[in-house]
Amino acid sequence: MGLFDFFFKKPVVINDELFGQLRFVNTSDTAMNFFEGYTFFKPANGNIEIHVEGNLPGPDEEQKQFYLTLQQDYDKYVPQIKTAIETEFRHWQDIS
């Protein structure tokens, strides 16, 4: 192992059956660890970037089920998402 290997460790990458290739981000606080990657999102008909809280060996079944349900019921969440974004945008305008 060389000096640079010690300081610049190769990232841990897993291949999840639902999400595909995910990079594990290991923080100093294990409660803040997460996985990041790109995966297909049916309502967008394309890939999206995702961040999933968790630790090795990978996302759990509850997280996977949430993602599947979100894709299936996405249209019913759009009004709530739109309201949240508009509210945050108005707040941002007020403090600018």
Digit-coded pLDDT (tens) for 19-64: 999 999 999 999 999 999 999 999 999 999 999 999 999 999 999 9
CB 17 within 8 A of CB 64: no
Q: CA 39 → CA 43, 88, 95, distances in Å?
A: 12, 26, 35
Cα 14 to Cα 45: distance, rounded to the nearest angstrom: 24
Host domain of residue 48: 3-95
The confidence score (pLDDT) of residue 2 equals 58
Contact 60, 66 (CB under 8 A): no
Q: How many domains does the chain have?
A: 1
In terms of pTM, does the model score above 0.85?
Answer: no
Element containing residue 93 per DSSP (H, E): helix 74-95
CB 59: neighbour CB atoms within 10 A?
Answer: 21
Condensed to tens digits (0 to 9), the pLDDT of residues 61-93 reads: 999 999 999 999 999 999 999 999 999 999 887
